[in-house]
Amino acid sequence: MNIRSIINQLVPHACLLCGGPAGDGPLCGGCRADLPWHRQPQCPQCALPTPAGQLCGACLGHAPSFDRTRAALTYGFPLDRLIPRLKYHGQLAVAPVLGECLAEAVGDVPRPDRLVAMPLHPARIRERGFNHASEIAREVAKRLGVPLDTASCRRVRDTPPQMGLKHAERRRNVRGAFACTGDVRGQRIALVDDVMTTGTSLDELAKTLKDAGAAAVETWVVARTLPRGETAGPAQP
């Protein structure tokens, strides 16, 4: 038994969600069981729930630049308590939990050549002190043994937050927001982000990468939001 295991037994971790004893993990068994895994039939391209896993109408009518989306969880309770603590309050201990969930969800899919985290503009990084997507992607890269590329893509426009904007406004907001200066020709790339809502930022980044020669681009997100009026189903083990 190593020193860390002994310490965990003497002073068990507090669960990041409920504050109760969590043993040697970040979440207690009850809170982990409450996580809403995103495993219902879904559109293979954007991960919205669809009958029998068919392409949704939006992707049929206007296919995004990314080829597929893989979401670990459905956005809702308790994620709506957990993700903001990382993103807006700098609680970096949350990132490995989210990265672990994402790595588990994509563990049996073909490995891409590299991971690219959704870039933040330098001004936003100075404000927050970190890029939450990079923190999540770092855990995924470690668990899956896939290189994390932090240099090839940059956010060149400090766009206003997407929250509260309609779909068309979101698309205009991020147009031309990214640049790719790395050599990604022929590469299969997975983009990592915390939450996909409309997917417009990921779509624009995927377009930028494909314009630079990437062969295929998937999006890997911790959570997928549902259309208004829909709720997450029961948690699945």
> pLDDT of the chain along its 237 residues, tens only?
444 444 444 456 889 988 898 887 888 989 988 899 999 999 999 999 999 999 999 999 999 999 999 999 999 988 998 999 999 999 999 999 999 999 999 999 999 999 999 999 999 899 989 999 999 999 999 999 999 999 999 998 877 665 665 666 566 667 888 999 999 999 999 999 999 998 999 999 999 999 999 999 999 999 999 986 555 544 443
What is the per-residue pLDDT for 232? 53
Measured CA to CA, the distance from residue 111 to residue 133 in angstroms comes to: 19
| Rounded alpha-carbon distances, angstroms, from residue 206 to 99, 177, 234 | 21, 12, 32
What's the DSSP call for residue 122?
H
DSSP secondary structure of 73-107: EESSTTHHHHHHHHHTT--TTHHHHHHHHHHHHTT
- Find, among 168, 205, 218, the residue nearest to 68 by Cα: 218
What is the per-residue pLDDT for 176? 81
* Residue that the structure tokens 């927050």 belong to: 128
CATH code that applies to domain 36-224:
3.40.50
Query: 69 — alpha (psi -120 to 50), left (phi > 0) or beta?
Result: beta
What is the per-residue pLDDT for 50? 95
Round the CA-based radius of gyration of the chain to a whole number and report it: 18
Q: Taking the domains of the chain in order of start, what are their residue ranges? A: 1-34, 36-224
Per the CB < 8 A criterion, the answer to whether 84 and 132 are in contact is: no
